[in-house]
C-alpha cells in the first residue's frame, strides 16, 4: 500500500485559504505555503505581517475565519483574534463561534477589553472556565490577557524560517547553497 504524505498544518491552512473566493486569498495562501519567489518561508510573524497588509476589509477577514476554525491550529487562531480585537464586526463573528474553540482560546476572548460589550450576549456559548474568567475581577482578566499577549509576541517574533547556518540578523536572505 503506498504511503500518503501527511498534510502539515501549513499545507492544510494554505489549501483552505486558497479555496476562498476573495481577492487576497490565493496570493496569501501561496505565501504562507512557500513564501515569495526567491524569498524565505514565513513563520507566524511573516504570515501575520502579510495578513495585516493584504486583508484590509472586514468581509475578507470574516471569510477567512471559518478556515481557521476548521484547521483547529491554535496559533493562527490566536493571532487572528489578536489582530481583530479592534474590529467589532470580525470580533462578533469570532465570539459567535467561541464554542468551537479550545477553552484556552475562549479564555483569551473573554479577557479582551474590546470584547466586553459583545461577550454577555453569548456567554452561554463559552466553556465554564471562560465563563468564570468573565465573572472574575478585572485584574484577573488583565493577568490572563497579559499571558496571551506574551504568547502572541513570541509567535510574532519569528518572521521567517532561519536555517541553522544563517545568522538571525540575515533571516530574510536565502542561504547560499553548499558547493
In the chain, where the domains are located: 9-161
Res 2: pLDDT = 57
Specify whether the CB–CB gap between 149 and 35 falls below 8 A: no
Give me the mean pLDDT over the 49-72 stretch: 96
Grouping H, G, I as helix, E, B as strand and the rest as coil, residue 160 is strand
CA-based R_g, the chain, Å: 18
pLDDT digits (tens, 9 = 90+) for 78-126: 999 999 999 999 999 999 999 999 999 999 999 999 999 999 999 999 9
Chain length of the chain? 179
Cα-based distances in Å from 174 to 38, 78, 98, 167? 7, 29, 40, 11
pLDDT digits (tens, 9 = 90+) for 132-173: 999 999 999 999 999 999 999 999 999 988 655 544 444 444
Res 125: pLDDT = 94
Res 163: pLDDT = 57
Phi-psi region of 22 (alpha: psi -120 to 50; beta: other; left: phi over 0): beta
- Residue 42's DSSP bridge partners are 160
- Greater confidence (93 vs 9) lies with 93
Amino acid at each position: 500500500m503506498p504511503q500518503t504524505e501527511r498534510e502539515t498544518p501549513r499545507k492544510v491552512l494554505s489549501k483552505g485559504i486558497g479555496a476562498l473566493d476573495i481577492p487576497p486569498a490565493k496570493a496569501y495562501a501561496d505565501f504562507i505555503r512557500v513564501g515569495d519567489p526567491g524569498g524565505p518561508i514565513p513563520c507566524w510573524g511573516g504570515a501575520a505581517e502579510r495578513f495585516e497588509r493584504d486583508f484590509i476589509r472586514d468581509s475578507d477577514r470574516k471569510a477567512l475565519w471559518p478556515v481557521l476554525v476548521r484547521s483547529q491550529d491554535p496559533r493562527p487562531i490566536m493571532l487572528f483574534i489578536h489582530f481583530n480585537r479592534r474590529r467589532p464586526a470580525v470580533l462578533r463573528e469570532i465570539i459567535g463561534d467561541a464554542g468551537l474553540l479550545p477553552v484556552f482560546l475562549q479564555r483569551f476572548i473573554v479577557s479582551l477589553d474590546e470584547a466586553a460589550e459583545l461577550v454577555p450576549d453569548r456567554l452561554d456559548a463559552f466553556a465554564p472556565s471562560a465563563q468564570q474568567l468573565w465573572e472574575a475581577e478585572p485584574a484577573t482578566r488583565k493577568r490572563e490577557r497579559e499571558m496571551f499577549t506574551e504568547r502572541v509576541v513570541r509567535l510574532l517574533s519569528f518572521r521567517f524560517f532561519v536555517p541553522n547556518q544563517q545568522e538571525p540578523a540575515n533571516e530574510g536572505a536565502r542561504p547560499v547553497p553548499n558547493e
